[in-house]
Amino acid sequence: MKLIETANYETMSQKAAALVIQQVKSKPNTVLGLATGGTPVGMYQYLKEDYEQNQTSYQNVHTVNLDEYVGLSKEDPKSYAYYMKNHLFKHIHIPIEQTFLPAEEQGDKYEELIASLGGIDLQILGIGENGHIGFNEPGTPFASKTGIVQLAESTREANARYFSSMNEVPTHAISMGISTIMQSKNILLLVSGSKKAEILYRVLTEDVDESLPASILKTHPNVTIIADQDALSVLK
């Protein structure tokens, strides 16, 4: 596992975007695994700016997202489909039919889709304050595959900031499984802010265990963590 420390959120985002651009340039038909949430917003902004300045081509790129809420339509501004379109897809001229998010009825089909694309070349991840990756909450078997998952109350609370009330926050999502994520050829985990410092410390220092989903990343051969100083503050 490679750990890159950056001064702040901006430099974390810049570094992450640079790695994505490098990946897409070296393999124009790259399959990118993408994450939503607050953490990668800055990275997507830098990808947008790079596209405007350098026209990095996404014509042959395919994307597969980690997760989507159950019960929200694609047009719902709170959905991850909407998030991806708004933050990234519409800015980089990627053919929209080459972008995928898991849908409620899928599961095995999403696994087959990823396999048919040749697997994920680079998977972007964030981490929940409870150590989740994708929406695989603590206790999820490491062998899990894509399917419907129940969100932990703490995850619903953390994501309530995007909804007008707690009642509106979905209780379930469809998420890539942990084994699906682990099959990616390369993984890039982004961690920012003091709220993530405790969990990052635990991931780096505790044993690999299903109670701490992100700990499995320590067994993957090609994981890079980019963490800002605040996220690394407990480690020091």
Binding residues vs ligand F6R (CB under 6 A):
35-39, 66-67, 126-128, 132-135
Tokens 């700016």 correspond to 49
Q: What's the min distance (Å) between Cβ of 53 and ligand F6R?
A: 26
Q: Tell me how far apart the alpha carbons of residues 170 and 162 are, in angstroms, rounded to a whole number.
A: 11
Q: Which is nearer to ligand F6R, 24 or 213 (CB)?
A: 213
CB-count burial class (<10 Å; 0-12, 13-18, 19+) for 85: middle
Number of H helices and E strands in the chain, helices first, is 8, 10
Which of the residues are catalytic?
A: 67, 130, 132, 137
Q: Which is nearer to ligand F6R, 57 or 170 (CB)?
A: 170
Q: What's the min distance (Å) between Cβ of 223 and ligand F6R?
A: 15
Asked if 88 contacts 47 with a C-beta cutoff of 8 angstroms, the reply is yes
Q: What's the min distance (Å) between Cβ of 54 and ligand F6R?
A: 26
Q: Tell me how far apart the alpha carbons of residues 155 and 160 are, in angstroms, rounded to a whole number.
A: 8
Tokens 């699906």 correspond to 180
Q: Which residues pair with 190 in a beta bridge?
A: 226
Q: Which is nearer to ligand F6R, 58 or 80 (CB)?
A: 80
Q: What's the min distance (Å) between Cβ of 192 and ligand F6R?
A: 8
Q: Which is nearer to ligand F6R, 127 or 182 (CB)?
A: 127
Q: Tell me how far apart the alpha carbons of residues 138 and 128 are, in angstroms, rounded to a whole number.
A: 10
